[in-house]
Amino acid sequence: KNEVEQSPQNLTAQEGEFITINCSYSVGISALHWLQQHPGGGIVSLFMLSSGKKKHGRLIATINIQEKHSSLHITASHPRDSAVYICAIISNFGNEKLTFGTGTRLTIIP
Amino acid sequence: SAVISQKPSRDICQRGTSLTIQCQVDSQVTMMFWYRQQPGQSLTLIATANQGSEATYESGFVIDKFPISRPNLTFSTLTVSNMSPEDSSIYLCSVALGTRSGELFFGEGSRLTVL
């Protein structure tokens, strides 16, 4: 079992829909990152969380440390939101190595 | 924040050749990370490049195959040596401001195809 599990693996939605991507992990963490990977391969950091909730524009990220779960929400989705969204954790044990989820491929249809 | 310039953005290479990927950061950083992302897979850490010392390689990656240079606090290179089709991947460099728990920045990736 991977330390980081994301769901769904693929998600297709109509423009304007509310999107939720989930990330569950199995170890104690010091931080969790949400990343966005564009079709060309470049990656942009969206959020870094250690507790609670963060909002940036139409994006909202939440984390529940007790349940070892985080969600990324996109409101009023737009075709330009189409990308792969990756959850990555830094465990609070050992060498603080980043562990990545396998990503959620989001496609927003106009 | 940090801006990372990575090149080449993509290349098509012949089996048995080597290719060097460059990563330039617009600020001084202690650690730079090199990742591989094979088709359909998530990112895997190859090594951590530290200025002034040998890179630290992860299990399954060796210096002979992926030599890394880190001549100063803003620049690093990764060479993929003696390439085979299995090396076809996206290679990314990354930095974290502060500690590993700090904000992450990635290069735009180098998409290599080995024929």
* Residues A49-61: tens digit of each pLDDT: 999 999 999 999 9
Bridging pattern class, strands B104-106 and B89-96: antiparallel
SS3 content of chain A, % helix, strand, coil (to 5): 5, 60, 35
Alpha carbon of A14: minimum distance to chain B alpha carbons (Å): 24
pLDDT number for residue A80:
95
Three-point CA angle A33, A107, B5, nearest 5°: 50
- Which pLDDT belongs to residue A1? 59
Q: What is the pLDDT of residue A72?
A: 98
Place of tokens 């060309």: A40
C-beta atoms of B92 and A43 within 8 A: yes
Range A53-78 average pLDDT: 96
Q: Answer yes or no: are the C-beta atoms of A3 and A98 closer than 8 Å.
A: no
Residue A32's DSSP bridge partners are A49, A89
- Count CB-CB contacts under 10 A for residue B60: 8
Residues of A with CB under 8 A from a CB of B: 30-31, 33, 35, 40-45, 48, 50, 86, 88, 90, 96-98, 100-103
Is residue B97 predicted with pLDDT exceeding 80? no
Q: pLDDT tens-digit profile of B30-71?
A: 889 999 999 888 899 999 998 878 899 999 999 999 999 999
pLDDT at position B6, please?
Answer: 95
Q: Are strands A19-25 and A4-7 parallel, antiparallel or unpaired?
A: antiparallel
